[in-house]
Every structure is written in C-alpha cells, then in structure tokens.
C-alpha cells in the first residue's frame, strides 16, 4: 500500500511591521509546498496472470482455460513528487505571481514489446524516473483607469525542462523496436527513443551535411564522424527537442466610451520541429499525382547544382524472396536536414464590443444593448512553414452577437 501526502506554507510579509513603511507594496506573500501524488494507470489484473474459460466447449466434461494477459509482479504505481516555491505580489497597478517547480515522476508506465513466441505482443512495465523543472510567471499591469474606461496589459511565461534520470532495463527492447521501425524503407518519420540523461521529447535522426552537389545524394554523418551516402539506424542521434524552452501568453484589454477591445496571443520558442510537410510534399511525393512546385525548383537535377532537396530516385525490394523485384520511389527517412528551429507567435483570440449609450437604449426601450465580435485563431507567425491541421484539429472561427437587456 502506498500513501500520499503534501505540505504547504505561506508567509504574508505585507502584514509584518517592517513592511509598513513600504507604501507601494500592497501584497507580498511567499509560499512553498511539497507533496506526492500517484497514478495507477493500468488495470489491477495486469500485474498478475489472469485466465479465461472456454464456456462453449468441454473436454471430457471439463472446461478449458487460457491466459488473458502476461503478468508482471514487479509492476508498480506511477508516483510523482513535487517541490514548489514562489510568491504573490501586488505593487500598486502591477500584479505578479511567480513559481519555481521541480518534480520527479517515478515508474512511468508503458507497453514493452514481447517475442511473439510468448503468445502476447506486449506487457506493461515501468519506464524509470523522469525529472521536470522550470518557472511560471504571470502578471498584469493596469496602465490607465478613469471611471469605466481602462487599459490593462497581461503577460505570462513558462519554462520546462525534462530529463530521463533513470531508465529501466525493459526499455532497451522498446528502443530496439523503434530502431527497426526507423530502418524500414517505408518509414519517413522520426521515432521515439529513450536514453538516460536525454529529454522525453528528443528528436532522433541521422545527422546530415546536406545534398552533395556532385551526385544529388544526401551526405550522412556516422557515429565515428565519417561520412556516407547510406542511411543507417545505427547512426541515430539526438538532433533537437520538440519541447520549447519557453512559452506563454501576452495580450491587452481595454474600454473607452463604450468601445472595448481584447487581444490574446500565444508564443513559444527555443525548441525544434521536424518539418514533415517538406518530407511528404517535396521529397516523398508520388510523381503520378499533383506535386509541390519545389519538386522541380528545389531538388537536385544536374551535377554541380546546390540544392536543398535530394535528387529523384528509386530503389528495388524483393517482398517475397523469389527474386521478383518491385521498383519503388526512394523514401527520405529521419534526417537532421528537416529539423528546424521553432519560434511562433499565435494571435489566438480577438474580441471587440460596443455598448450603446443610454440615449440609444432608452429610445429603443432597452436597459442595455451590446454588439460583440469574436475571432479565434486569427493568424500565426512562425519561423517554420508547415501545414496546419494535419495532426490536430485546426479551425478559424468568427462570431457576431447582439445582446439586449430589457
């Protein structure tokens, strides 16, 4: 049986006598907390072998049984221990909230691949220990205020760094399976791998020096530093991190003589992204269909040309082992050439309203009349040109409303 607990302390410094002379500080509270939580992210019977029975047929009057799952007696709860320290402050028109956090997640649960000879393809096991740490800062500043009219700026920033502190031995088989997937000629996406000291969001690919102007082939860097034209899963290294170093929100809201405007934007930076759009739409396209114009303008076509994308090529496979080869277009596999720095500003929401003055509302017999316009996903400014909505829903929406109170 596991027990979970937490403890938190706070100190309102603004109530202390030595803070009485500091007139611009209306509130200043420091606080800290620590505690543990748990997550039983698996069915209880997955830690033991369970059986089912054949109820529709019998052998010599007895019902047969079969195993439903492979038991893992060593399977443990996923637990998390958190440390947090920060403060809340209000300095006249400025409000701030700051937190530093550090958390350790123990026994992350994942599926481990098993040999098919066992009769099962996977079993639940614990991944290891992962550390997350970072800061969170949120604030708002009242720039101007007069009666009902006002203008406020708000901002926030969050950083997070995660690292695998300790990896279980069982994850070795998972990594081997991922390398086999990466080596498949039909695979064109980076795979997930986990190693001690690395981030959970590390991007694994083979390091590339670009396209050879003489041949149009990609030049890969092997683990020993030598170069080759042959892609190999043995040369996979960490070439980026899909988790941004920082992200947050910034915006403003205000009202003047009945006109109100609010704008909220999200931003992030410091991370990387594997540009799958270039892989799928330029290098791994099917020439029998419509293609991106960069297939002709950006790919290598003649000796001496400096190009961003490799030449068009083919490879042959023997799917059945009977020496009857099928010619397929050569696939671009995970390479650092498509890892790009990701910096984005996303205007997430814009809201505008107008409250009609009393002369208009009284003439119409209303107590209040408001017109409102809202728009979401207004525009994205990004250092990477990539298709949106292919892996997650994306929709830009607008709405108008007219509200009347009698």
Question: How does pLDDT run across 240-253, given as a tens digit for each residue?
Answer: 999 999 999 999 99
What pLDDT, on a 0 to 100 scale, did the predictor assign at position 405?
Answer: 86
**270: its two tokens:** 């410091």
Element (H, E) at 102: strand 94-106
Q: 138 in a domain, yes or no?
A: yes
What pLDDT, on a 0 to 100 scale, did the predictor assign at position 329?
Answer: 58
Task: Tell me the three state secondary structure of residue 96.
Answer: strand
pLDDT tier for residue 318 given thresholds of 50, 70 and 90: low
Q: 2 in a domain, yes or no?
A: no
Q: 34 in a domain, yes or no?
A: no
| Residue found by looking up tokens 């809202």 in the block | 374
Let me know whether 316 and 199 are in one domain. yes
Let me know whether 143 and 191 are in one domain. yes
Q: Which domain holds residue 59?
A: 50-76
* Per-residue burial over 151-170, b = 16 or more CB atoms within 10 Å of its CB, e = otherwise: bbebbbbbbbebebeebbeb
User: Cα–Cα distance between 270 and 3 in angstroms, integer?
Assistant: 38
Q: Where are the alpha helices (DSSP H) in 317-383?
A: 358-364
What pLDDT, on a 0 to 100 scale, did the predictor assign at position 46?
Answer: 64
Question: For the chain, how many structural domains are there in total?
Answer: 2
What pLDDT, on a 0 to 100 scale, did the predictor assign at position 213?
Answer: 94
54 or 101: whose pLDDT is higher?
101
Least confident of 98-112, 155-169, 192-206: 98-112
Let me know whether 65 and 111 are in one domain. no
Let me know whether 200 and 255 are in one domain. yes
Tens-digit pLDDT profile for residues 18-33: 888 888 888 999 999 9
Q: 27 in a domain, yes or no?
A: no
**Within a 10 A sphere around the Cβ of 28, how many other Cβ atoms?**
19
Let me know whether 64 and 146 are in one domain. no
Let me know whether 67 and 139 are in one domain. no
Q: Does residue 64 register a pLDDT over 90? A: no
Percent of the chain at pLDDT exceeding 70:
86
For the entire predicted model, the pTM comes to 0.80
Q: Where are the alpha helices (DSSP H) in 283-402?
A: 294-297, 358-364
């Amino acid at each position: 049986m596991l027990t979970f607990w937490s403890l938190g302390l706070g100190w309102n410094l603004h109530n202390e006598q030595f803070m009485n002379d500091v007139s611009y500080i209306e509130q200043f509270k420091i606080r800290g907390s620590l505690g543990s939580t748990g997550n039983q992210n698996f069915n209880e019977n997955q830690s033991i072998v369970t059986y089912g029975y054949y109820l529709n047929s019998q052998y010599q009057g007895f019902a047969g049984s079969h195993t439903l799952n492979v038991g893992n007696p060593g399977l443990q709860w996923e637990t998390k221990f958190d440390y947090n320290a920060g403060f809340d402050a209000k300095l006249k028109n400025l409000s701030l909230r700051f937190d530093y956090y550090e958390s350790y997640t123990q026994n992350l649960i994942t599926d481990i691949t098993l040999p098919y000879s066992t009769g099962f393809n996977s079993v639940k096991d614990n991944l290891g220990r992962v550390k997350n740490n970072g800061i969170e800062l949120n604030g708002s500043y009242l720039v101007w205020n007069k009666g009902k009219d006002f203008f406020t700026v708000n901002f926030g920033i969050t950083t997070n760094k995660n690292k695998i502190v300790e990896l279980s031995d069982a994850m070795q088989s998972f990594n081997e399976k991922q390398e086999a997937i990466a080596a498949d000629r039909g695979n064109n996406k980076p795979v997930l791998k986990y190693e001690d000291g690395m981030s959970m969001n590390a991007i694994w690919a083979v390091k590339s020096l670009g396209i050879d102007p003489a041949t149009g082939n990609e030049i890969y860097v092997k683990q020993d530093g030598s170069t080759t034209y042959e892609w190999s899963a043995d040369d996979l290294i960490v070439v980026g991190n899909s988790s941004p170093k920082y992200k947050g929100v910034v915006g403003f809201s205000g009202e003047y003589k009945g006109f109100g405007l609010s704008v909220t934007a999200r931003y992030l930076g410091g991370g990387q992204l594997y540009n799958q759009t270039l892989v799928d739409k330029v290098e791994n396209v099917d020439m029998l269909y419509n293609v991106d114009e960069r297939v002709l303008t950006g790919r290598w076509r003649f000796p001496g040309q400096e190009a961003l994308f490799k030449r068009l090529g083919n490879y042959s496979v023997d799917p059945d082992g009977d020496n009857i080869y099928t010619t397929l277009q050569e696939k671009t596999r995970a390479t650092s050439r498509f890892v790009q720095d990701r910096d984005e500003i996303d205007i997430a929401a814009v809201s505008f309203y107008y409250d009609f003055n009393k002369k208009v509302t009284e003439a119409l017999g209303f107590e209040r009349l408001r017109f409102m316009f809202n728009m979401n996903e207004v525009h994205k400014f990004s250092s990477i040109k990539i298709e949106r909505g292919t892996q997650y829903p994306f929709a830009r929406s607008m709405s108008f409303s007219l509200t009347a109170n009698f």
